[in-house]
Chain A
Amino acid sequence: MKILLMGNPNVGKSVIFSRLTGVYVTASNYPGTTVEFTKGTLKFKGEKAELIDVPGTYTLEPTCEAERVATEMVKEGDLIVNVVDATNLERNLYLTFQILALKKPMIIALNIWDDAKHRGINIDLGKLEELLGVPVVPTVAVSGEGIKELFNRLEEAMVPSRPTYTKEERWVQIGRIIDEVQCVTHRHHTLIEKLEDASVQPLFGAFLFLAVLTASFSIIRFIGEGLIGYVFDPFFEGIYAPLIMKLSSVLGSGGIFHDILIGKLINGSIDFGQSFGLLTTGLYVPFAMVLPYIFSFYLILGVLEDVGYLPRLAVLIDNVMHKLGLHGAAIIPMILGLGCNVPGALSTRILESKREKFIAATIMAIGIPCMAQTAMIIGLVGSYGGRHLTIVFGTLFIVWFSLGLILNKIIKGESPEIFLEIPHYRIPNISALVKKLWMRLSGFLLEAIPLVLIGVLFVNILYMVGFIKLISNIAAPVVTYLWGLPESAVSALIVGFLRKDVAVGMLAPLGLTAKQAVIGSTVLAVYFPCIATFVVLIKELGIKDTFKSAVMMITVALLIGSILNLII
């Protein structure tokens, strides 16, 4: 038994899914948060049934990958829960009518019911049920209101006995239903509505963008630095280091086992940045250097997502993105990529054409460093002064932008135009924000920490067996002549396939000059994606396009490393 949750994008399907199954899926206030389906289970008529959260779609005649997934899924459903946005009944009913025509048992969750009431939209539920011929349950998914009733009434879902309409007839019928069931009381615009309208004006929009950007960066830095300086560093240095020093002397301050667990002692003591043992650098990097920034980044991103700011940014920046062969909505994969390239690559599914997906995924994988890597670059390069950080991130931005310009010129085809629903601003629900942040943080810890530890272990073993030395000799011409880095930097490039944060961390013990740190960090960011991103790229672009993308990355790395080596 398969029960499908279907509806327009951004109507709250994922929240209802989480409420019904207890399985968490990320939900935000913009169309296209869900691009893949998620499965969960619930009890239906005493038996276990599968509930599937289907990506949102406006129509069963798909225009992008996420919508295609939805159109394919619908065939497999035995029962459909059509989630409808009560604040925009008329448009939502278009999909409802298309699903009704499939003659499958159906029930409607009339979601965002609270907001509809605030906006003065009154809907006659009894009448709507009668006219559509299927049960209608009002819900407020975010607060959980109506979810129980929806669950209890699932078995009332039925196939409506009504004729199948042609498209023209459908709109006529929808018009009739709206006239009969919906009554909108006129009232004055609220402050939020005024802000919604102002945000899409060029001048105010640009001003708002600068304000949001500045505020986001300052808050991310403030919280990130604060957590490191006042929480994690004091803990690691004051409490954890003495313990590890004891362990070190127990282990005899040296030997293979000691070196793997604790690493090299620097001037007789532990240096969390340089020792490179599993229990020292292996834990210090993910917890004390990366986690604080992951936390602050996702806190801010969560607020921006749930307020509904991102689609407005997409509109504002649309004409710039067109120069790169994309349209404004492609800013969403880029912003998600700043957190982690994996969800960034997945969200390219909201883009219409294969060409756009390729350009977006490629420039993201090359020019957008993930937050783990950014945090490490801030730690490493930042210690030489802020000016050097500007060079690293400035270079990455230039690479991102110019590669987009070039790809737009050389790949045949046109970039489709933006056509995007801009959701209403909403005041974020605090518990939803906390839950989302928690899921993202635990996702990072569960996926990153094992890989970080494997990376550190791997480096130690490779050093011990002499492999690094061998590869260093082979790669020396590129690394030393072209990029001006010490041969030993090769080990960072090898580990970069696994995790970029550890790779940047490996530059720390090399005693680099500021220039070398800048070049090393920049090259590490562009030369190749980490393994997790690489797998998703293959899945999303196919092997052939991923190969093309990878060739570009290596070429760009060779070029940009050499150029930086020449000019700074």
Chain B
Amino acid sequence: MVSLVDMKINQSGIVIKINGGAELVRRLEALDVRVGKKITKLSSMIMRGPIVVKVNGCQVAVGRGMAKKIMVEVNK
């Protein structure tokens, strides 16, 4: 299990845990980033910029602080 920040570019996996309060879970959920979802990391901007992931074929930009709290089981 790694956080979104530690995932490699183009790696996919399943979200298994969100290390945050109800508020964060709710915000992420609105864009369908939630436990059980398949997620692919597309890129990571330089200088601690956001991370772009693909969920349901749609791109979503996630700030680094949030991304750190999204834990993913990477597909082997």
- A interface residue numbers (CB < 8 A to B): 58-59, 61, 63, 87-88, 90-91, 94, 119, 171, 196-197, 200-202, 205, 311, 314-316, 318-319, 327-328, 416-422, 424
Q: Which residues of A contact B36 (CB under 8 A)?
A: 171
Q: Are B27 and A419 in contact (CB under 8 A)?
A: yes
Q: Are B62 and A87 in contact (CB under 8 A)?
A: no
Given A58-B31, A417-B64, also A319-B57 (CB < 8 A): no
Which 9 residue pairs across A and B have the least CB separation, nearest first? A417-B63, A58-B30, A91-B32, A422-B59, A319-B49, A200-B52, A59-B30, A315-B61, A420-B61
Q: Beyond A91-B31, A315-B52: 10 further Cβ-contacts under 8 Å?
A: A59-B30, A87-B57, A94-B29, A200-B52, A315-B45, A316-B45, A416-B63, A417-B50, A419-B31, A419-B60
Q: Which residues of A contact B61 (CB under 8 A)?
A: 200, 311, 314-315, 318, 328, 418-420, 422
Q: Which residues of A contact B14 (CB under 8 A)?
A: none
Residue of B nearest to A311 (CB): B61
- B interface residue numbers (CB < 8 A to A): 26-32, 34, 36, 42-50, 52, 55-66
Among candidates A59, A87, A315, A421, residue contacting B26 with C-beta atoms closer than 8 Å = A59
Q: Which residues of B contact A197 (CB under 8 A)?
A: 42-43, 59
Q: Which residues of A contact B32 (CB under 8 A)?
A: 88, 90-91, 94
Q: Which residues of B contact A58 (CB under 8 A)?
A: 30-31
Q: Are A90 and B63 in contact (CB under 8 A)?
A: no
Q: How far is the CA of A317 from the CA of B23 in the complex (A)?
A: 26
Q: Which residues of B contact A91 (CB under 8 A)?
A: 31-32, 55-56, 58
Residue of A nearest to B25 (CB): A167
Residue of A nearest to B40 (CB): A197
Q: Are A327 and B63 in contact (CB under 8 A)?
A: yes
Q: Which residues of A contact B50 (CB under 8 A)?
A: 315, 318-319, 328, 417-418
Q: Are A196 and B59 in contact (CB under 8 A)?
A: yes
Q: Which residues of A contact B26 (CB under 8 A)?
A: 59, 61
Residue of A nearest to B60 (CB): A421
Residue of A nearest to B47 (CB): A319
Q: How far is the CA of A197 from the CA of B42 in the complex (A)?
A: 7
Q: How far is the CA of A91 from the CA of B60 in the complex (A)?
A: 12
Given A58-B31, A61-B26, A200-B52, also A422-B45 (CB < 8 A): no
Q: Which residues of A contact B60 (CB under 8 A)?
A: 419-422
Q: Are B57 and A88 in contact (CB under 8 A)?
A: yes
Q: Which residues of A contact B30 (CB under 8 A)?
A: 58-59, 63, 94
Given A417-B64, A420-B61, A422-B52, also A319-B34 (CB < 8 A): no
Q: Which residues of B contact A119 (CB under 8 A)?
A: 57
Residue of A nearest to B52 (CB): A200
Residue of A nearest to B59 (CB): A422
Q: How far is the CA of A426 from the CA of B7 in the complex (A)?
A: 29
Q: Kindly provide the distance from the CB of B19 to the nearest chain A CB, expressed in whole angstroms.
A: 15
Ordered by A's residue number, 24 sampled pairs between the chains whose C-beta atoms are within 8 Å are A58-B30, A119-B57, A197-B42, A200-B42, A200-B43, A202-B43, A202-B44, A202-B49, A205-B43, A311-B61, A315-B52, A315-B61, A319-B45, A319-B46, A319-B50, A328-B50, A416-B63, A417-B65, A418-B50, A419-B31, A419-B60, A420-B61, A422-B61, A424-B58
Q: Kindly provide the distance from the CB of A130 to the nearest chain B CB, expressed in whole angstroms.
A: 23
Residue of B nearest to A93 (CB): B32
Residue of A nearest to B63 (CB): A417
Among candidates B44, B59, B63, residue contacting A419 with C-beta atoms closer than 8 Å = B63
Q: Are B47 and A88 in contact (CB under 8 A)?
A: no
Residue of A nearest to B37 (CB): A90
Q: Are B59 and A421 in contact (CB under 8 A)?
A: yes
Q: Which residues of B contact A171 (CB under 8 A)?
A: 34, 36
Q: How far is the CA of A61 from the CA of B30 in the complex (A)?
A: 9
Given A88-B57, A422-B52, also A318-B31 (CB < 8 A): no
Q: How far is the CA of A88 from the CA of B54 in the complex (A)?
A: 12
Q: Kindly provide the distance from the CB of A474 to the nearest chain B CB, expressed in whole angstroms.
A: 49
Q: How far is the CA of A101 from the CA of B48 in the complex (A)?
A: 40
Q: Which residues of B contact A327 (CB under 8 A)?
A: 63
Q: Which residues of A contact B64 (CB under 8 A)?
A: 417
Residue of B nearest to A204 (CB): B43
Q: Kindly provide the distance from the CB of A378 to the nearest chain B CB, expressed in whole angstroms.
A: 33
Among candidates A61, A88, A316, A419, residue contacting B62 with C-beta atoms closer than 8 Å = A419
Q: How far is the CA of A418 from the CA of B66 in the complex (A)?
A: 9
